[in-house]
Structure 1
Amino acid sequence: MNNIFIIDKDLQTKDLVTSIVEKNHLKFNSIKQFYSIDDINVDSNANIVILDGTMEELYWIKKTYPSSFFIIFSNTIDFFSSREYFRMGIENYVIKDLEVDLLEVSILKTYKKLNEIKNIFDDTSISLMRNESIRILQENIISKILKNEDITRTLTLLDITVEDLGIFDSKGVVILIQLDNSIDNLKNSVLIIKNIVARINSSLEFMPYLKSRLIYNDYDNIIIIAQPLNNEVNDHFYNIITNNLLSLSSYIYREFKGKIYSAVGSEFTSIYESHKSYFSAKSCLSMKSNSNNGRYINTKESHGTYYDRIHLISNKKDFILKSFLNGDENVLVDIEKFVRDIYKDFNEDIDKSRKLIRDTSIAVLSELQIIYKGLGNVYDFKTPNHSLKVSCKTLEELIYHVNIGAKEVIFNINYYKLNSKNRLVKNVCHYIVENVCDNIDLSTISTHFSISKNYFCNLFRSEVGETFLTYVRKVKMAHAKILFQSGSYKIYEVGKLLGYEDINYFSKLFKKFVGITPSEYKNTL
């Protein structure tokens, strides 16, 4: 049965709501009024909530009853609170003294929607709606942090911490992404924004050095809070961000002929100082240049616009990607032809050619990170671009450096069997590199893929050329190298992360697969 909760100090509100329900013969089990949220029994169920209270009380109600419908019935509705209601998905807000008649309309409309949902959606759908409501609530609280508003009372009221919001009180930056206003209509803008959000969500999963929180309920910008796992905001951290933003620009231009602008705000040392990074990034976007220690992601180069260059990249990138996906060294022939074409297009200017090749490399590697989910756990995708930072004097020298990186990528794709012709083996290999820190054994694989242990053991060995256990250890030791390279972990910490409590055993395995001990490897970094 349906229930209505009223949170209002005005006792006449319940009489008004009851008269509306009875007049229209609406089926409600109960109508309960509470003086404040402190009086509510959280075990009770509320289908419709009518509220006259503070924004903090609304946050608490949204968290406690995320799948309920809300009607704001208050005399204190201003522009800013209306905007907040809109962001939280609340469509009905009525001014008490001026729009009492609208309360009846809002209740009838909400009642109709409530019954439609009960008739159409199953428990899973309602659960998804509840999760979406919680996401919106979290994003609104984070938005308050970015606007330098005090959230202490809100967090206390909701009994949560900043970690519950998917962010951490550590170093990081705020990234803003803005859609170009030349998009011809709102429908296309919404479609592109949805694609940007989906694309960012996918790419963020493949950044082994980065933890991020995506916020996309801001009116003007898509916001990302990016924080390095090793708590070091350095050149590598910025390179990861820049590479993915360039790849995103390429994708949006290729798929929608749309343009995006992006900026990375100044570094913050605490999440409670992130507003400075937010406003720094906004300043960069408005000025289209670096400002207030922020970085504007430049979309123009001396040779035409960035999007002209991206178009050149897109014409060949997909063809090159296909060769990579086949794990085929014939890609080197394709790459050499591409490099020569670019060199000719830039009137044999080696430096401009190198920059475009570097951007193409960034775009291709970003695509490969998404396709080969988890490969970043065992292979450092920034490595191939190191050689392209070196100035090249001749075309042959440029081709040589490009080939080194390409060969390395192909080797790793083949080495970890992520392109195996047997679909089951390929899926298992993907699963292992994605979940490298878990304790993975034959029972895990047998249960997860619904396959007998004996059959799988024989199949895996025949397809991969080594035992399942050897492959798992190989992947874990490769990930250990990545963790050591971050500079954030001691030897015993890496061992524990990978499931090895005995540091001596871990060191022995590491030497077997890498050739030197963990201590010796750390000394080479």
Structure 2
Amino acid sequence: MYSVMIVDDEPIIRMGLKKIVNWEEYGFRIVCEARDGEDALGKLNEHQVDFIVTDIRMPKLSGIDLLREIRERGLKVEVLLLSGYDDFSYAQQGLRLGAFDYILKPLDASKLKSTLVNAFKKLSEKDKEYHELNMNKLISREKILYDLLRGKNLIMMDEYISQYNLPLIKGKIQVAIVEINDIVTNSQLLIDNHLRDELEKSVSHLIEDELYKSKIDNYSILDEDLGKKFIIVQTDKEIDISVFNDDFVAVLNKILKASNEELGTELNIAVGNPYNQLYSMHKSYLNAKEALKYKYVIGTNKLIHISELAQLKQENFIYPIEKENVLITAIILGKESETLTALKELIKQIIEISSLDAFKINLAFTQLVSNVYNNVLKKYSFLKDVYDLSKIMNIGFLGIQTLSEVEKKLTDNITSLVSVIKEYNLNRNDNIVQRACEYVLNHIEEDITLSSISENLNISKNYFCSIFKQQTGENFLEYVTRAKMERAKILLRKHDYRVYEVSEALGYKETAYFSRIFKKHFNCTPAEYKKNDI
């Protein structure tokens, strides 16, 4: 319902206007009336009015003067003028001032009904436009806030705060990231059971409640990826920054506890350092983002403060880099038995020098897989085109309960990596064969023929074919096709290419032919592989 004010200096006219039509039938409700323009302006301070029906000729303040004052105040109210024949020139003046319409006296019910239909339509359109404008502004405001949080366009911060009414004040600031562990680890299961949205809302309400009850006056909560939320807290009070930090950490601990006890939900909470200046907001965010990585090291369902990590890292712990170098060399050479021996010795030494400290052990394992990943990429950068090297980074701290399980996962992943290096013949003693294999993987999306590889190696085709078959047990072109098919899997799944796009990228002119080869290798079509988790 849109609210209406009737303005006329004659009570009998006001009464007649209220009864001449059923206002609610047309989407309107009369909320007040006024005896002249001056009285109407006073009523506008007391009532929310969408539509005014006013006489033109009135004492003190005429309908035209009322309309002019409404426009000067910038009020978004539609005004319908009531005019006698002698006031026609005034009615035209009113239209120029932005009146919705005018009706001649004496009033005709059918004319008023028609006018109300049009007025309802216009007001509805204005509401829709206003809603869309606000939604667009809200979306823009959130995007700008995200950008500032990540350190983008900081030079424009003051202007953005003013223009988009951002919830930021100048003063101390600190950022935390709250991650709902169940959504991160079981997102698809929660989607299938329609539980994810409900869990997101419950956690959001819990966070809001605890912040509202706390000593913190200024805070913002932003949703990020699935199951992840940012909390920005601020103060312009003259308090020590350590007190500001302690107050925030205390609230976060309450959130963690309440989530466990009331919702039965584990959270991972990471906190950045507090800063004295608003312009350091992105630093606190990056601190929190870095701290969150250590959920894999010190476990989930905990509050991790970046300052605590710094203290732990300062403790005396000498990483066995020499044994790691032996392991990485064995991996790169594709020597499986040497790799397993080196890995076993390295794990044993890490456990011994860590004095069974879970944090130190997991920290060392995290460093180990990172170093393996980086060194293998440095040597075989092209390998990532046919094998997802990031698999070795997932050693499974999340959800794994015992050290032996972590060891097994780490061993399985590294063994798998060695198998891939061997599978693509990157560990061959014959320099010609290894160079050929590296050439294929470096040019996997090109048209590779016996002629092109022989020319590159500067040897005859027949000699090359003989050497390659003798060393690897397969024909060279079979090797090329096998590598291209593995590349196709990555393009289909990881990069979300369409089937015909993959076919073209790998040099196959006919998509149907490419699909047949793919099915021969993997017992499913490219489309089936892309659609299903095969």
TM-score scaled by length of structure 2 = 0.42
Higher relative contact order (CA 8 A, sep 6+): 1
